[in-house]
Amino acid sequence: MTVSTIDDLIAAREAPGGEAAGADEPVIWCDRLVRIFSAGGVEVQALQGLDLQVARGELTALVGVSGSGKSTLLNILAALDTPTGGQARVAGHDLLTMRSRDRLEYRRRTVGFLWQQTSRNLLSHLTAAENVELPMKLAGARRGARRARADELLGLVAAGDCRNRLVPQMSGGEQQRVAVAVALANRPQVLLADEPTGELDTDAAEEVFAALRAVNAGTGATVLIVTHDSMVSGQVERTVAIRDGRISTEVLLRTATDARGQRAEVREEYAVLDRSGRLQLPGEFVRELELKNRVRLALKPDHVQVWPDREPPRAGGE
């Protein structure tokens, strides 16, 4: 069965055998997502028909400059904001129709959230273990289960030695790794991380990324990291770039074998084609060729050629 839209997906899940068909549903699905803000009579489109799919268990980074729409998208996925139009689903939850009471339960159990500022992630008067146990205590988990889960997660993020330390007794990197454990305390399906290394030095940032990779592999949680740092592509399997409220390019990490049989990791960049056939050329391409207003196109048997409007294509040119 081919599922091309969120409506098809919902219908497939409700049809006989739909439960099995829905097993491959992306855990994050945004379809023509729009978010418009109004201020002083002026409308600003933060998201302009954005499409995004993130598979279960994926480790993905969403990168973009300030104002690109990445923070708006993150707030929608965290159920902290509601889109103006389009559709958005996370782990089977429809974020457009969700009631206030359901949003609280969704943030408590379905998604974990990691803020850039460590002060927003942890309570300073509690130890690392007590911080990890707190979400479980609020969810009604028993003491023994809370302690076992806290020890498991602190070990997974390499912060076991911080177990009995208060927050001020930990470094910034240690605090953020403990915060990863806190975000996963109630076994969410999705971890959303907002600039998790923005306040850290290079070494501490590497440790936090290592912790995110560890929890992704160790728990199966889908991890979406939102950042302005394009270098994060070296830390994740897939990097999605957002520009002007739409997905523009993706960088995918794969393993390739050369002619000598040597295996190596290769990163390839792709432009993203939306359902209307639109794509955004990478910014460096536009600047290098001084592309403006319009471009010339030519269809070949296996590719499309693009030229600046000022330069007509040459016969037989590539």
Question: Cα separations (Å) of 273 from 51, 64, 191, 249, 303?
Answer: 10, 18, 27, 9, 14
pLDDT for 244 beyond 50: yes
Select from 231, 249, 267 the last residue of a domain. 249
Range of the domain at 126: 55-83+99-249
Q: In whole numbers, what is the pLDDT of the chain averaged over residues?
A: 86
Structure tokens at 277: 């056939």
CATH number, residue 147 = 3.40.50.300
Tally of CA atoms within 13 A in the half-sphere of 141 that contains its CB:
21
Q: What percent of the chain has pLDDT over 70?
A: 90
Closest to 84 (Cα-Cα) out of 50, 34, 45: 34
Alpha helices in 167-272 (DSSP H): 172-183, 202-219
Question: Given a cut of 80, is residue 265 above it in pLDDT?
Answer: no
In a domain, 295, yes or no: yes
Q: Are residues 304 and 183 in the same domain?
A: no
Instruction: Say how many domains are in the chain.
Output: 2
Two tokens, residue 201: 């030095």
Residues 166 and 315 in one domain: no
- What is the bridge-based pairing of β-strands 238-243 and 59-63? parallel
Q: How far lies 150's CA from each of 147, 157, 232, 284, in Å? A: 5, 11, 28, 46
Task: Examine the fold and report which residue of 249, 272, 301 is the final residue of a domain before the chain moves on.
Answer: 249
- The reply to whether 193 falls in a domain is yes
Residue 298 lies in a domain: yes
Under the banding of pLDDT at 50, 70 and 90, the label for residue 7 is very low
237 touches 60 (CB < 8 A): yes
pTM summary value = 0.83
CA distances from 162 to 132, 178, 183, 196, 249 (A): 12, 8, 16, 19, 39
**pLDDT tens digits, residue range 150-198?**
999 999 999 999 999 999 999 999 999 999 999 999 999 999 999 998 8
Measured over the CA atoms of residue 277, residue 72, residue 24 and residue 18, the dihedral's sign is negative
The pLDDT of residue 14 is 37
Question: What is the average pLDDT across 134-146?
Answer: 94
> How many whole angstroms separate alpha carbon 152 and alpha carbon 161?
12
Is residue 89 very low, low, confident or very high in pLDDT (cuts 50, 70, 90)? very high
The mean pLDDT of 31-35, rounded to a whole number, is 94
User: 184 and 288 share a domain?
Assistant: no
What pLDDT is stored for residue 23 in this prediction?
56
Tell whether the model's pLDDT for residue 147 goes beyond 90.
yes
Residues 136 and 78 in one domain: yes
Cβ atoms of 251 and 239 within 8 Å: the answer is yes
Q: Is residue 231 part of a domain?
A: yes
25: in domain: no
**Radius of gyration from C-alpha coordinates of the chain:** 22
- Closest by CA to 186, choosing from 91, 111, 266, 261, is 111
Q: What's the mean pLDDT in 18-26?
A: 54
